[in-house]
């Protein structure tokens, strides 16, 4: 059923799920309601929050109501002809940004050039004049006839039309055309996190996500939301990830696989993860393999007395300990960051060093000669922020060792909170864009590691219980050592 000219005004909630939507006829004010399994919203986030029948935290209300928009007025002008000519033809542009300072006009559309089907009589010209404004300002409040005269004057002033050629005109005012990245936008995550709790509510589109999404990205958010529903994927991260990276536009840098598929996202808590795995983690074959790879990669690096080595995503500190021992560094020469506060507290004690942080993108008091970022960026949607941070914190001749995952996202990846896997070429582009020179890059893992991932995926719950968590039993150690042996010779 499609109800035109109705406005959603109330969303009822039961057990953190939307249970019903109330909407009202915009002319008669008659109210009706509907129940659904899933609710997809493109209404402005501000209005959505205000329509929730729920005890909304003060901060969420404040941020939602502080979101700002730019509004928009467009005037359609039908003309006999344009004064501005391209020889004897219509100028070829679809649209033009207007730079002249003496007019308020922002952009001009020539609909004939978009498609002949937009204009009934092709001997005439349909223009679209665009004004960016705020609801309630002088432009917004002008009467329609007055506004149309004003726009014709503007176009005459810059030599685009002759007043006498105007046949017809219409004005349309459009509220909230552009979600603004000022106001309370820098605290938008508060609203996003609050809304994420309603499992069957999906925010998509432009104002629906308060993001400057164009039609393509808006459609992609809709497609992804529907895929999540079909595949019973609980996370909304893959919807929020769309159109977040600056490279998305330039290089189409996209993760090779976002979280889709028939696996449910388990709730991932880094601190809990480290507690559950602390006895066995250092013996995982892949962890040992990675550590060996990182130490080997540093073989030719010339460590000096003041070389500072930082591990962004240091976990329990195994790699840092290995580097410190192998290259005879002092504990003041190593440092790290991890989102899990419990591991950072332990590392501060272990190394008696203040160089361990659990705040993201920490402010360091010195530059780093080496930064390790191993198996981190696949956990976060903000990977380009991390790469930028690394670049900013590396010495001019410093090196970065980055490892991450590519290929399919398996249950084991979801268990450790992966949100995306990468394509090596695209990752190289991202790094080069940030100013890195790539010395070496390669894919590792086929066929043994790939096989291991597929096998563990068959019954991941059992693998998790019997191998990943808990004490390091003899059986576990043997299985780990045998697997590591194969990685070693691979
Ligand atoms: C001037 C302008 C030019 C643009 N040009 C381009 C372009 O050239 N190329 C491009 O790709 N994109 C362009 N865009 C962007 C494109 O229009 C948007 O990305 C796209 O329309 C967003 O889709 P949406 O479904 O999120 O929102 P919308 O298309 O805005 O749909 C949201 C709908 O929700 C309705 N609504 C709001 N509140 C309620 C409520 N409480 N109850 C019920 N319904 C409600 C609204 O009336 C609206 O119909 C342009 C946008 C503007 C404003």
Ligand 1 centre to CA of 152 (Å) is 27
Q: Are strands 107-110 and 125-133 parallel, antiparallel or unpaired?
A: antiparallel
Q: What is the ipTM of this complex?
A: 0.98
Q: Which residues contact 290 (CB under 8 A, 6 or more apart)?
A: 319, 374, 375, 403
Q: Is the CB of 109 under 6 A from ligand 1?
A: no
Each residue's pLDDT tens digit, 24-69: 999 999 999 999 999 999 999 999 999 999 999 999 999 999 999 9
Any idea where the domains of the chain sit in the sequence?
6-66+184-232, 68-179, 270-489
pLDDT tens-digit map of 135-157? 999 999 999 999 999 999 999 99
Q: What is the band of 250 on the pLDDT scale with cuts at 50, 70, 90?
A: very low
Ligand 1 touching residue 206 (CB < 6 A): yes
Q: Is the CB of 43 under 6 A from ligand 1?
A: yes
Are the C-beta atoms of residues 386 and 424 closer than 8 Å to each other?
A: no
pLDDT at 6: 97
* Closest residue by CA, ligand 1 atom 36: 43
Does the Cβ of 298 fall within 6 Å of ligand 1?
A: no
- Any ligand 1 atom below 6 A from CB of 220: no
**pLDDT-based confidence at residue 428 (cuts at 50, 70, 90):** confident
- Nearest-CA neighbor of 281 among 268, 295, 291, 269? 291
Fold of 270-489: Rossmann fold (3.40.50)
Pick the most confident of 55-69, 76-90, 436-450: 55-69
CATH of region 68-179: 3.90.660.10
How far is the C-alpha of 219 from the C-alpha of 175, rounded, in Å? 21
Fold match flag (68-179 vs 270-489): no
pLDDT band of 482, cuts 50, 70, 90:
confident
**Is the CB of residue 399 below 6 angstroms from any atom belonging to ligand 1?**
no
CB 25 within 8 A of CB 8: no
pLDDT tier at 267, thresholds 50, 70, 90: low
CA distance 291 to 374: 9
CB-based contacts of 354, cutoff 8 Å, min separation 6: 348
Which CATH number applies to 6-66+184-232: 3.30.230.70, 3.30.2130.30, 3.40.50.880, 3.50.50.60? 3.50.50.60
Pairing between β-strand 334-337 and β-strand 309-312 as defined by DSSP bridges: parallel
Q: Which two tokens stand for residue 438?
A: 């790539």
State the distance from the centre of ligand 1 to the C-alpha of 55, rounded, in angstroms.
Answer: 29
How much of the chain, in percent, has pLDDT values that exceed 70? 95
Contact 142, 150 (CB under 8 A): yes
Question: Which residue spans within 42-114 are E strands per DSSP?
Answer: 67-79, 95-97, 107-110
Length of the chain: 490
Q: Which of 6, 94, 208, 215 to mutate to test the pocket of ligand 1 (most atoms within 8 A of CB)?
A: 215
pLDDT tens digits, residue range 321-348? Answer: 999 999 999 999 999 999 999 999 999 9
- Residue 40 alpha carbon to ligand 1 centre in Å: 14
pLDDT at 275 over 80: no
pLDDT at 156: 97
Q: Which atom of ligand 1 is nearest to the CA of 204?
A: 26
Atom of ligand 1 minimally distant from the CA of 47: 41
Structure confidence at residue 265 (pLDDT): 45
Ligand 1 pocket: which of 3, 25, 214 to mutate (most atoms within 8 A of CB): 214
Mean pLDDT (the chain) is 89
């Amino acid at each position: 059923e499609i109800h035109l000219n109705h406005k959603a005004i109330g969303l009822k909630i039961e057990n953190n799920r939307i249970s019903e939507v109330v909407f009202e006829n915009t002319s008669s004010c008659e109210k009706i309601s509907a129940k659904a399994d899933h609710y997809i919203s493109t209404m402005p986030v501000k209005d959505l929050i205000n329509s929730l029948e729920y005890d909304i935290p003060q901060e969420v209300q404040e941020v939602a109501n502080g979101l700002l928009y730019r509004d928009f007025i467009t005037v359609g002008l039908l003309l006999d002809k344009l004064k501005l000519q391209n020889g004897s033809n219509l100028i070829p542009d679809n649209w033009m940004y207007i730079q002249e300072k003496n007019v308020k006009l922002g952009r001009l559309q020539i609909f004939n050039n978009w498609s002949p089907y937009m204009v009934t009589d092709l001997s005439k010209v349909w223009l679209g004049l665009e004004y960016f404004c705020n609801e309630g300002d002088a432009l917004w409040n002008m009467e329609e006839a007055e506004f149309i005269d004003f726009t014709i004057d503007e176009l005459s002033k810059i030599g685009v039309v002759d007043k006498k050629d105007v046949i017809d005109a219409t004005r349309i005012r459009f509220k909230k055309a552009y979600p603004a990245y000022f106001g309370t936008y820098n605290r938008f995550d508060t609203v996003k996190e609050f809304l994420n709790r309603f499992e069957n509510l999906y925010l998509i589109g432009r104002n629906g996500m308060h993001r400057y999404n164009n039609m393509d990205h808006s459609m992609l958010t809709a497609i992804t939301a529907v895929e999540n529903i079909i595949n019973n994927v609980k996370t909304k991260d893959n919807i929020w990830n769309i159109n977040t990276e600056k490279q998305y536009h330039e290089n189409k840098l996209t993760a090779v696989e976002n979280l889709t598929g028939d696996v449910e996202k388990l709730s991932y808590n880094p601190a809990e993860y480290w507690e559950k795995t602390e006895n066995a983690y250092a013996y995982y074959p892949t962890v040992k393999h990675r550590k060996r790879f990182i130490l080997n990669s540093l073989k030719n690096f010339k460590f000096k007395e003041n070389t500072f080595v930082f591990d962004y995503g240091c976990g329990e500190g195994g790699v840092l300990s290995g580097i410190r021992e192998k290259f005879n560094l002092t504990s003041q020469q190593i440092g790290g960051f991890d989102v899990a506060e419990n591991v950072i507290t332990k590392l501060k004690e272990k190394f008696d060093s203040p160089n361990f942080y659990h705040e993201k993108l920490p402010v360091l008091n010195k530059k780093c000669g080496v930064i390790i970022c191993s198996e981190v960026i696949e956990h976060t949607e903000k990977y380009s922020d991390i790469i930028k941070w690394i670049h900013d914190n590396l010495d001019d001749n410093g090196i970065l060792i980055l490892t991450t995952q590519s290929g399919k996202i398996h249950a084991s990846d979801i268990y450790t909170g992966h949100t995306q896997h990468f394509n090596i070429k695209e990752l190289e582009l991202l790094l080069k864009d940030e100013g890195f020179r790539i010395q070496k890059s390669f894919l590792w893992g086929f066929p043994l590691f790939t096989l291991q991932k597929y096998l563990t995926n068959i019954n991941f719950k059992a693998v998790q219980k019997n191998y990943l968590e808990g004490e390091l039993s003899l059986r576990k150690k043997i299985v780990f050592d045998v697997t590591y042996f194969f990685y070693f010779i691979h």
